Amino acid sequence: MALPLNYNIRNVLVRWRTTLFTVLGIGAVVLVFLGLRALGRGIEATNANTGDSRNLLVVRKGSQAESGSLVSREQFRTLRDLPGIARNAAGEPLVSAELVMIVSAPRRDEVGEANTLIRGVTPRGMELRSQVALVEGRWFRAGQREVVVSSRLARRFAGFEVGGTIKAGPDRLTVVGHFDGRGSAFDSEAWMDADESRALFDREQYSSVLLRPADDSLAAGLIQRIDHDKRLALRAEREVDYYSKQTMTAKPINYLAGILGTAMSVGAVFAAMNTMYASVGARTREIGTLRVLGYSRRSIVLCFLIEGVLLALLGGILGCATAWGLQVELAAFNVSFGTLDFQSFAETVFQFRVTPDLMLLGLGFSVVIGLAGSLLPALRAARLPVIVALKSL
């Protein structure tokens, strides 16, 4: 015979002080766990949201990222003349040779400097990236030492405001506009003219080539042709696939979430265990009475397990709700975060992102804490001799 569920609910409400402290403790653990996971998910979402499925990105064979790739001008001309390349309204092939470089810039909070990425692009490169839109000022002009930066970067670095200057190599670039990358990896970049960037940084070669097949059915053939051409020694893949693989930056944060989550969960388990042991001590006579009324040891164990899970679940709901509220608040104030990209060694800008699956993970995490923290007290309660329990004061 099982105890009714309302019995567990009333016990939780009657002991509201211990219930409150346990719920707050578990809620804090779930909040930290979800917060770190949300940062990692924000990086992953940024890369997953980058690129156009119609575009192909070409880099040197063996390169895992654009920053470690070299594409010569001769290779670029060969790619530009390949059959099956789409053309714009003016009849020009939609192919862009680009250069990726790193510069150091001072933070707005005056706490040191950080690396940021400057991408040299051509007018075709801007046509190929429809998700990037100018939001302030104007686009750069070739030969004028001008640059357009992400509006998110502009909030993080000094000198990135319109009219400001960025030190790049031996020269300075004037910021003439801000663009919005709509939550993509381009929000971590500044753009200038590709050939001007080669001259400024004294580079003979480009980093990558972005191109668009005339038809999606031609993409697989172009990828195979580029990969198998021994003269080129290049590899091609869809732009969206390339960026979806650039998730190495999220791994340390996810590892940290796992380590801290494990460490804090141990403390939460002991807190839940302490609460349940106190409950057993305060209800010794009550437990004896339940045994006399015919409730089995298994029913007693199940009763305390349900109470422990109920407490932990309340804490999990509190932690998830707080994490969700934090995301809404950060989005309202347009707050973004930054960390080192281990592929390019530049700062990556991303947003705090709490997704439904993360919230389910947080709730599951809290249930595990509740079960682990209530198992031993439940077994102790079930093993109490009936006579001893009835005689307790």
Residue 178 pLDDT? 97
pLDDT confidence band for 220 (50 / 70 / 90): very high
Nearest Cα neighbor of 147 from 104, 189, 93, 208 is 189
Region label for 233, one of left (φ > 0), alpha (ψ between -120 and 50) or beta (otherwise): left
Residue 393 pLDDT? 46
Q: How far apart are the first and last CA of the chain?
A: 27
CB-side neighbour CA atoms (13 Å) of 26: 35
Residues 6+ apart with CB under 8 A from 316: 26, 27, 30, 362, 363, 365, 366, 367
pLDDT tens column, 357-375: 999 998 998 888 888 888 7
When pLDDT is averaged across residues 16-26 and rounded to a whole number, the result is: 79
Residue 113 pLDDT? 87
CA angle 369–319–183, rounded 5-degree value: 125
H or E element, residue 28:
helix 16-48
Residue 119 pLDDT? 95
**Percent of the chain, pLDDT > 70?**
83
In the three-class reduction of DSSP (H, G, I as helix; E, B as strand; rest coil), residue 23 is classed as helix
When pLDDT is averaged across residues 129-155 and rounded to a whole number, the result is: 94
What average pLDDT does the structure give for the chain? 84
H or E element, residue 166:
strand 165-168
When pLDDT is averaged across residues 219-240 and rounded to a whole number, the result is: 92
Q: Is the pLDDT of residue 223 over 90?
A: yes
Q: Is the pLDDT of residue 258 over 90?
A: no
Residue 2 pLDDT? 56
The residue among 286 and 45 whose pLDDT is bigger is 45
Q: What is the Cα 239 distance to its own chain's centre?
A: 19
Residues 6+ apart with CB under 8 A from 215: 84, 86
Q: For residue 328, what are its two tokens?
A: 């809404």
The residue among 346 and 225 whose pLDDT is bigger is 225
β-bridge pairing 208-211 and 165-168: unpaired
* Whole-Å CA distances, 32 to 24, 144, 316: 12, 48, 11
- The single-letter code of the amino acid at 274 is N
Residue 287 pLDDT? 66
When pLDDT is averaged across residues 131-148 and rounded to a whole number, the result is: 94
H or E element, residue 321:
helix 297-332
* Whole-Å CA distances, 284 to 272, 345, 383, 384: 18, 61, 11, 8
Nearest Cα neighbor of 51 from 215, 203, 181 is 181
pLDDT confidence band for 245 (50 / 70 / 90): confident
pLDDT confidence band for 259 (50 / 70 / 90): confident
- Mean pLDDT check: name the lowest of 3-17, 62-76, 113-127, 299-313: 3-17
Residue 8 pLDDT? 60
> From the CB of residue 155, how many other CB atoms can be counted at a distance below 10 Å?
15
Between CA 172 and CA 165 the distance in angstroms is 6
Q: Is the pLDDT of residue 347 over 90?
A: no
Q: Contact at 8 Å (CB) between 311 and 12?
A: yes
Between CA 378 and CA 301 the distance in angstroms is 5
Nearest Cα neighbor of 349 from 179, 153, 113, 147 is 153
- Mean pLDDT check: name the lowest of 58-72, 119-133, 287-301: 287-301
Residue 283 pLDDT? 63
Most confident of 28-32, 173-177, 217-221, 339-343: 173-177
Domain residue ranges of the chain, discontinuous segments joined by +: 5-48+248-391, 56-212
When pLDDT is averaged across residues 161-177 and rounded to a whole number, the result is: 92
Name the percent of the chain in helix, strand, coil, to the closest 5: 50, 20, 25
Beta bridge partners of 56: 211, 238
